[in-house]
Amino acid sequence: MAEDSGTLWGLVEEFVTGQQDSKAAEVASGVKDGDFTVLQVVESLGSCLANTEPRTRSRGVQLLSQVLQQCYSKLTEKEVEVLVVFYENRLKDHHLIVPHVLQGLKALSMCDVLPPGLAVSVLKSIFQEVHVQSLMQMDRYTVYMIITNFMKIREEELKNLGADFTFGFIQVMDGEKDPRNLLVAFHIVHDIIAKHYNLGPFVEELFEVTSCYFPIDFHPPPNDPHGLTREDLILGLRAVLTATPRFAEFLLPLLIEKMDSDVQSAKLDSLQTLSAACAVYEQKELKEFLTSLWSSIRREVFQTASEKIEAGGLSALQSLSSCLSRSVLTADSEDYLDTVLNNVLQDCKHHLCEPDMKLVWPSAKLLQAAAGASSRACRKVTSSVLPLLLEQYSQQAQSNQRRTILEMTVGFLKLQSKWSDEEDENGLGAFKAALCSMVYSAVTDPSSQVHLAAVKALTVLGTQKGFLSAADIDLVVGHLTRLILMETDLQSCNAAIEASGSLAKIHPSAFITRMIPQLSSRLWTEPMEINANDNNGIQGNALRIRCLEALAAVSTHQSIVRETVPILLDYVKQAQEGKAAINSDDIVSVCKSLHQVAVQCQPDAESMQFYHNAVVPCLLSLTVQAAIQESGTPSTEHVLLQDAVVSAMVPVISAACTYLSPEFGASSVSRIVNLFLDGDVSLLSENNFSCKFQPFQMDASTEPQSRLVALLMACVCSLPRKVEIPHLVRLLQHLLSLSLSGRSSFAYSTSSKCFAGLINKFPTGEPLDEILQDAARRIESGLVDEPNRIQAITLLAWVTKALILRYHPLNGQLTNRMIDLLSDRELGVSVADLFSLLVSDSADILNKACHADIRIMFRQRFFTENVPKLVQGFHSASRDDKPNYLKALSHVLNSLPKQVLMTELPSLLSLLLEALSCPDQVVQLSTLTCLEPLLLEAADILSVHMDTLITKLLSLSSSPAMAVRITALKCMLALTKLPLHMLMPYKQQVIRALAKPLDDKKRLVRKEAVEARCQWFLLGSPGS
């Protein structure tokens, strides 16, 4: 002990007189280790605390406070008491000492064992002895922290102080200038109010001391290390100002005044604060100010050019109207909601009669905002506005004006549906006849713009529960059918298709009887017939596509799906039989529609099962039949076997298999696998074939059959992982063989994909390892086998991808193999392209939708493991091979999330800049695409490379490849967001250089050049 106290004396001495700061930590760890107690530390400081030189006393207190900050959790109640008394006394000491005293008190304020009464005592001392606002920023911050801590652990005691606490704090923060401190102070005031501390007579003072910062005008310095934003302060202050209705009488006049400010941000802040305040206010706080508030909001919405302020004003009005709607009406009180709505109607309604004038939309939006607040408001506004709009529609002759009126009407109708759940009786009932007659007349208006609005109105009316009668619905469906089949304007037709989709869900039978038969019959209209009496200008082909889109769109109800799917499949069947002159584009369109139907069916298991049973066997039957017919013919000519058609069927079958239940899925998949492995045709509806289906046979005669492996893939690779696939190992063997020696690129690459899709989901374990070993061995031998090298690298790439996604340990080895192959004379270029496959999402396989095993952050991991190797490979590669490495690298970088790339950018930037000089246009393009989003974020890193970057981008802006020119110019535009000082030295040079692409032969390039150049002109120029 004696020895310990000697050590302690020594440490104290060295800290206080020796000015060795590190000794404080040693004392603290001594206390923590139990070598000496805090009271011993105080004792050992005795002499210097009594020293006449303030600096020495200050140093002593500093030591004690630093120790306490480390050890406050170890203190006993008794120690805390002694220390608090000690520190309180010291608050009266020399000003040099006060900061250290506050540090000590802050440490003590975090002690759970703080004895009762001391918090109050400390605060009283601070309020009394310390003039907080003459302290340094740091020390003021400490005071706020002490108060915050006490409020957390001694709320009840502090509340016993009554209004004195509130008053004390008002004095503490009065005059605060530092934004960091203000943020804390705002939090304290908010808590004072929210936790119901006694404000006593100081409500106005508390409001004054905070509201003087409104509106916040703070612009963080560039590179602000505190990361404090303007938004933080705005929200902090707003929480205070809107914390209590008791501030209302002060806040509302302030908001009204600031809304009239010339500063846009002040207007916006005032409007948003008003919205927030209305959420806690009641009618009694607002009533005095309603007229002024409304006229300010109206003025801002009418006058502003800024969408933000308009949105702020509308939301403020809505909050206001909500607040008034909430208030309970008593028999004798005035209905202020009614008063405000009357004002709004009076000031806005007449503008609705001027559909050509600028104020028409602001007025409509204000009315809709007010109406959107409550059912009561909505009823009042719509009942006044709708008759006017209906009357206006009949009076206006110009289609522009009619469109505007219709669009406004749609806005009001939509609001109505927002409240219809609460209402027993639909508020629109009285207008039904008039509304219907307006919309029906609009939908036959000569102007397509009017149609568009009318279709929206139809949709809204049709979705209002029970609003339209069955006869009306039939009429609506008739109109939509007419628009789909006859309307020459594509936009109107598309809108009608979309509307049909929404309404079919609610009124399926009307669509089944009125629309689908018409669509179906038009599907079969021969092009010749249409052209013969061509009076509506829609070509046969376009009409067919519309019918297909509409059939898909309306398939939103099970009963409709049962009608539409057979129609679509029948079309494919006709193609198989060669009955009609159907080309591959037609079948691709049918497949798109089938796919859309599947996607719409997915949420409903019953529809899905119907769909699967109807579609999968049928498509397989038809294609197998076609393939068998074609077997032995040298080239595949059958329409159903073309690459585009088979590829279009893949998503259809995929979507039909993605959500199958395990039981149903297993039975279905086993029949499909049997078909492909053993030629078992029992699944197929049509199964009377001249020869056997042998897709894995791999001779010239069965080549058409091998193509259908794509459909096998679509099925087996998209099943949920729970569904077991029979004969999986045998299937994989066949796929491997076909991948490595298939003849057509379509066959071997889909076979590779199928193999990859299956091993991605194959459970970990020995069987998988064996399969992979075998695959790796066969790929290696394929790589030396001259005619099949391309097959081998394709398979290698897909297998590598499958393993990267699931983090399989073998992925590194395979990726290394791919990196090595970048130097291969013959294959290097193709391998470089295959790197894009490794990291990008593929549409038909190995994605989330088909339940692939994809680990999070696999790209980041791939990046970290392989980019250094690619960079190194680039440096050691021969000149001819370097572009391959750059290309591979730029594919990898392109796929990465921006944040990840940012951290790596410093090490990669010089390489990227080098890649910009690479003559390969693909490399240039992907490097530019990769750079563009980074330019904004990487100011610091870029600053040293500006010369090179600008020179290269400008030179690429005259590349022979249009896409490169466009992207280079986009980069030039992105650069303008960098700090001004980095750009100004280049401004004149860039403006001059960008004059050249203004005269590019391609319009799309000129467009980018114009944007970039105009933006460069604005740099550092007044008003920008």
Partner 1 sequence: MKDSLTLLSRVSAHPDSRCWFVAWNPTGTLLASCGGDRTIRIWAKEDTNWVCKSVLGEGHQRTVRKVSWSPCGNYLASASFDATTCIWMKKTEEFECVTTLEGHENEVKSVAWAPSGSLLATCSRDKSVWVWEVDEEEEYECVSVLNSHTQDVKHVVWHPNQELLASASYDDTVKLYREEEDDWVCCATLEGHTSTVWSLAFDQTGDRLATCSDDKTVRIWKRQGAGEEKGVSKDEPSWKCILFYLYRCCSCKNPLSNALATACGDDAIRVFEEDAGSDPMQPTISLTAHMPRAHTQDVNCVAWHPKEAGLLASCSDDGEMAFWQYQIPSRGASK
Partner 2 sequence: WVGKMVVSSQLENANPLIYQRSGERQVTALEEDEDVVDKIDDREIFDILVRAEHPLSLEELNVLEQIRVKVSDEESAVSVEFTPTIPHCSMATLIGLSIKVKLLRSLPERFKVDVHITPGTHASEHAVNKQLADKERVAAALENSHLLEVVNQCLSARS
Q: Please say which residue, 977 or 992, places its beta carbon nearer to partner 1.
A: 992
Rounded Cα distance between 929 and 546, Å, is 36
CA 739 to chain centroid, in Å, comes to 39
CA distances from 514 to 306, 452, 707 (A): 47, 21, 40
CA 891 to chain centroid, in Å, comes to 24
Q: Scanning the structure block, which residue is given the tokens 């104020």?
A: 359
Residue 490 contacts partner 2 per CB under 8 A:
no
Among 92, 418, 992, 1007, binds partner 1 (CB under 8 A): 992
Q: Please say which residue, 735 or 973, places its beta carbon nearer to partner 2.
A: 973
Residue 1019 contacts partner 1 per CB under 8 A:
no
Closest CA to 720 of 765, 775, 658: 658
Rounded Cα distance between 54 and 62, Å, is 12
Residue 635 binding partner per list partner 2, partner 1, none, with a CB distance cut-off of 5 to 8 Å that depends on partner kind:
none
Q: Side chain identity at 540, as an amino acid letter? A: G
- 1007: which 2 tokens? 């467009």
Among 449, 621, 623, 636, binds partner 2 (CB under 8 A): 449
Q: Please say which residue, 346 or 688, places its beta carbon nearer to partner 2.
A: 346
For residue 445, give the DSSP letter. Answer: S
Among 988, 996, 998, 1004, binds partner 1 (CB under 8 A): 988
Q: Please say which residue, 55 or 992, places its beta carbon nearer to partner 1.
A: 992
Residue 777 binding partner per list partner 2, partner 1, none, with a CB distance cut-off of 5 to 8 Å that depends on partner kind:
none
Residue 864 contacts partner 1 per CB under 8 A:
no
Q: Please say which residue, 255 or 309, places its beta carbon nearer to partner 2.
A: 309
Among 421, 422, 663, 999, binds partner 2 (CB under 8 A): 999
Q: Please say which residue, 431 or 986, places its beta carbon nearer to partner 1.
A: 986
Residue 46 CB coordination number (10 Å): 11
Q: Side chain identity at 653, as an amino acid letter? A: I
Number of residues that bind partner 2 (CB under 8 A): 37
- Packing angle between helix 584-601 and helix 643-657, nearest 10 degrees? 10
Number of residues that bind partner 1 (CB under 8 A): 4
Among 588, 991, 1010, 1019, binds partner 1 (CB under 8 A): 991
Q: Please say which residue, 106 or 1013, places its beta carbon nearer to partner 2.
A: 1013
Q: How far is the CB of 968 from partner 2 (least distance, A)?
A: 15
- Residues in contact with partner 2, shown as a per-residue x/- string from 451 to 470 under the rule CB under 8 A: --------------------
Residue 914 binding partner per list partner 1, partner 2, none, with a CB distance cut-off of 5 to 8 Å that depends on partner kind:
none
Q: How far is the CB of 359 from partner 2 (least distance, A)?
A: 5
Q: Is the dihedral of CA 77, 78, 79, 85 positive or negative?
A: positive
Q: How far is the CB of 367 from partner 2 (least distance, A)?
A: 16
For residue 349, give the DSSP letter. Answer: G
Rounded Cα distance between 92 and 849, Å, is 71
Q: Please say which residue, 284 or 992, places its beta carbon nearer to partner 1.
A: 992
Closest CA to 356 of 397, 299, 388: 397
Rounded Cα distance between 252 and 283, Å, is 13
Q: How far is the CB of 969 from partner 2 (least distance, A)?
A: 13
Q: Is the dihedral of CA 322, 327, 331, 335 positive or negative?
A: negative
Alpha-helix residue ranges (DSSP H) falling in 17-53: 22-32, 38-49
Residue 152 contacts partner 1 per CB under 8 A:
no
Among 178, 354, 833, 904, binds partner 2 (CB under 8 A): 354
Residue 346 contacts partner 2 per CB under 8 A:
no
Residue 1024 contacts partner 2 per CB under 8 A:
yes
Residue 400 binding partner per list partner 2, partner 1, none, with a CB distance cut-off of 5 to 8 Å that depends on partner kind:
partner 2
End-to-end CA distance of the chain: 73
- 513: which 2 tokens? 């009887």
Among 262, 421, 663, 786, binds partner 2 (CB under 8 A): 262
Closest CA to 859 of 839, 837, 832: 839
Residue 1014 binding partner per list partner 1, partner 2, none, with a CB distance cut-off of 5 to 8 Å that depends on partner kind:
partner 2
Closest CA to 376 of 428, 413, 325: 325
903 by Cβ neighbours in 10 Å (0-12 / 13-18 / 19+) ranks as exposed
Q: Please say which residue, 85 or 995, places its beta carbon nearer to partner 1.
A: 995
Q: Please say which residue, 961 or 991, places its beta carbon nearer to partner 1.
A: 991
Task: Give yes or no for a contact between 969 and 957, defined as CB atoms under 8 angstroms apart.
Answer: yes
Residue 219 contacts partner 2 per CB under 8 A:
no
Per CB under 8 A, which of residues 932..971 are in contact with partner 2? 961-962
- 231: which 2 tokens? 């938004």
Residue 988 binding partner per list partner 2, partner 1, none, with a CB distance cut-off of 5 to 8 Å that depends on partner kind:
partner 1
CA distances from 515 to 55, 464, 560, 593 (A): 94, 21, 11, 16
Phi, psi of 135 (to 5 degrees): -80, 170
- Applying CB under 8 A, the span of 182-190, 232-240, 382-390, 992-1000 interacting with partner 2 comes to 992-1000
- Applying CB under 8 A, the span of 154-162, 408-416, 775-783, 989-997 interacting with partner 1 comes to 989-997
Long-range contacts, 344-350 (Cβ 8 Å, 24+) = 344/294, 344/298, 344/317, 344/370, 344/381, 345/381, 345/384, 345/385, 347/294, 347/298, 348/298, 349/384, 349/385, 349/388
Residue 989 contacts partner 1 per CB under 8 A:
yes
Q: Please say which residue, 304 or 749, places its beta carbon nearer to partner 2.
A: 304
Rounded Cα distance between 83 and 7, Å, is 22
Q: How far is the CB of 413 from partner 2 (least distance, A)?
A: 22
Q: Please say which residue, 943 or 989, places its beta carbon nearer to partner 1.
A: 989
Q: How far is the CB of 1012 from partner 1 (least distance, A)?
A: 17
Q: Please say which residue, 357 or 729, places its beta carbon nearer to partner 2.
A: 357
Rounded Cα distance between 465 and 111, Å, is 62
Residue 857 contacts partner 2 per CB under 8 A:
no
Q: Side chain identity at 707, as an amino acid letter? A: R
Q: Is the dihedral of CA 924, 926, 929, 932 positive or negative?
A: negative
Per CB under 8 A, which of residues 391..410 are in contact with partner 2? 400
- Applying CB under 8 A, the span of 134-142, 205-213, 905-913, 984-992 interacting with partner 1 comes to 984-992
Q: Please say which residue, 212 or 995, places its beta carbon nearer to partner 1.
A: 995
Per CB under 8 A, which of residues 300..329 are in contact with partner 2? 302-308
Give the footprint of partner 1 on this chain (CB under 8 A). Answer: 988-989, 991-992
Give the footprint of partner 2 on this chain (CB under 8 A). Answer: 262, 302-308, 351, 354, 356-360, 400, 449, 961-962, 995, 998-999, 1001-1004, 1006-1007, 1010, 1013-1014, 1017-1018, 1021-1024
